[in-house]
Amino acid sequence: MGMRKDLQETTKKKTFSEMQKERREQAQRSILISCPKKIPEKKLLKHLCQHGDITNHFFFESFGLHAVIEFSKKESIASLQDASFIPRGETEFPIPFKSRFFHLNLKNPSNQTSDVQCSNQSSPLNANIIKALCNAESVENQINTLMKILQLTEENIRLRYLTCSLIEDIAAAYFPSCTIKPFGSSVNTFGKLGCDLDMFLDLDDIGKNSTTKTEGSFLMEYQVKNVPSERWATQKILGVIGECLDNFGPGCVSVQKILNARCPLVRFSHQASGFQCDLTANNRIAMKSSELLYIYGSLDSRVRALAFSVRCWARQQSLTSSIPGSWLTNFSLTIMVIFFLQKRSPPVIPSLDSLKNLADVKDKCIIDNNDCTFVSNLDRIKPSENTETVDTLLCQFFEYFGNFPFNKNSINIRKGKEQNKPDSSPIYIQNPFEISLNISRNVNESQLERFVHLARESAWILQENKGQSSKTSTEPWGLAALLLPSVPNKSKAKKAGRGQTSEAVKKLLESIKAESTKDPRATRKKTTISTQS
């Protein structure tokens, strides 16, 4: 009996909050070190071991060499902090704050030999991705290759949680029981190397604490002063923390306080980790959306495969952008993928309403009168009976949305069915939790038209490619053809502004052709991927 329980525990899939708790705890035992270029790894580790056991470590490049060291116990960090000195000079003014970001100074750096291997933190160049895809054997193989190249690595995920934890140290100097957690694509299983780091400042943990009374004779006086609404309170708190990061945040540069946005935020670049960070507060619904995507992404491997392919395709076709505007967002595209998979027969994934029906008492969650309840235990969700392959699904995705009646119907993942469109926006995707809102309200008619047009063209390319093997092709095929800067189309290439791109495509095609004619086995060879920076 005991053995069976163990077995169950090891096969149990982690819930979102279990995963987050484990990662946070791991980050709290970790430190970041900026190292000189030539660093003897063994010596460094031997030195650090004096403060306690090290359970994990890796090196990476971001404005110089850095190391992440994970101790087995938090106490080791305090010991190292006590043993480190704080520089004090004519231009250095220390503040009473013990950070977990260290600099390593070596006495004779030039004598040292470097033996460290760096873990890659950025996404490879597009041309290299396309080359790697051309060498794959099938579209399914291409999709898997794409995911392997672009998905967040174990080290990158650790670094994301560590960065949040380092920022939490600073915020906690103001508000001791606040927490900072990553959300968005850093945690929802759909993140690509190089994606931004969305941070959620949680001040509400105080309210949930069981020792906090809701009534009694003593009232504690602690308020945001002179504010008429919660929005103002959030703006004040973020303003103060932004100021703090700007003045004292180790490794934080280009701090911008964007407090008048619909969702107020502090944007900054964390130089030591290389992440572009967006710190927001009070947006529990966005955290719940991340959890929902995590559940869908963990349920069936085809969800991630398809979402990855579609997100990359959209980025390459400039359907999405890093600048906000009237185009689709990655979030909207992911919801479209989920909707499409719910609509297959039999469905690949269940509707949000069915996930709600599987919820138990402790899953109940109401945020600002919005019902955000759904099951958190993945093992309670039945596996799908659908057996379609990812390449079929990818092609069908383009076919489906290339012909979707956007003028009449809305996309609704809560029901898993299209509904009548409640207003005249070009595309209506119901917000899964704030059900009266459209998450793609920003998208205009011409962006939707481009999406539909490119979807049709892509469905056609994938169908045309069917059965084509990589051996015979001298041109990008399958998924690689979809990721070319613009889907090859002679009439379109002539249009103004496309000249440069088509030049780049030409060069790429030539290099692929040259490689495949040089040596017939060359297309089979694994291409090494070089990094962007």
Question: By C-beta, is 196 or 246 nearer to ligand GTP?
Answer: 196
Take residue 275 and report the two structure tokens written for it. Answer: 């992440």
What percent of the residues of the chain are helix, what percent strand, and what percent coil, each to the nearest 5?
A: 45, 15, 40
Residue 492, token pair as written in the block: 């379109």
Judged by CB under 5 A, does residue 198 bind Mg ion? Answer: yes
Residue 185 binding Mg ion, by CB under 5 A:
yes
Among positions 52, 184, 251, 432, the unique one binding Mg ion when judged by CB under 5 A: 184
Q: Which 8-state DSSP code applies to residue 109?
A: G
Alpha-carbon span 459 to 139, nearest angstrom: 13
Q: Which does 391 bind (CB under 5 to 8 A by kind): Mg ion, ligand GTP, none?
A: none
Between 290 and 316, name the residue whose CB sits nearer to ligand GTP.
290
Helix segments in 98-223, DSSP class H: 126-134, 139-150, 154-174, 205-208
User: Is the dihedral angle over the CA atoms 409, 411, 415, 421 positive or is it negative?
Assistant: negative
> From the CB of 59, what's the least distance to ligand GTP, in Å?
25
Tokens for 455, please give them: 């979807």
Nearer to ligand GTP, 277 or 508 (CB): 277
The answer to whether residue 196 forms part of the interface with Mg ion (CB under 5 A) is: yes
Residue 235's nearest CA partner among 208, 255, 262 is 262
Q: For residue 453, give Cα distances in angstroms to 319, 325, 336, 341, 425.
A: 11, 19, 16, 21, 18
> CA distances (Å), 83 to each of 51, 170, 508, 519, in order?
9, 21, 53, 58
Q: One symbol per residue from 121 to 160: x for binding Mg ion (CB under 5 A), - otherwise; what is it?
A: ----------------------------------------
Q: Which among ligand GTP, Mg ion, none contacts residue 502 (Cβ within 5 to 8 A by kind)?
A: none
396 is an interface residue for Mg ion by CB under 5 A: no
- What crossing angle do the helices spanning 154-174 and 16-28 adopt, rounded to 10°? 70
The rounded distance, in Å, linking the Cα atoms of 114 and 330 is 40
CB of 439 to ligand GTP, least distance (A): 4
Nearer to Mg ion, 289 or 470 (CB): 289
Q: Which stretch binds Mg ion (CB under 5 A): 178-186, 236-244, 265-273, 370-378?
A: 178-186
Decide which of Mg ion, ligand GTP, none touches 330; Cβ closer than 5 to 8 Å per partner kind: ligand GTP
**Size of residue set near Mg ion by CB under 5 A:** 4
Nearer to ligand GTP (CB atom), residue 177 or residue 321: 321
Q: Which residue is nearest to ligand GTP (CB)?
A: 184
Taking the least distance from each CB to ligand GTP, the nearer of 124 and 184 is 184
List contacts with ligand GTP (CB under 6 A): 183-185, 188, 195-196, 198, 286, 289-290, 329-331, 431, 439
Residues lying near Mg ion in the complex (CB under 5 A) are found at 184-185, 196, 198
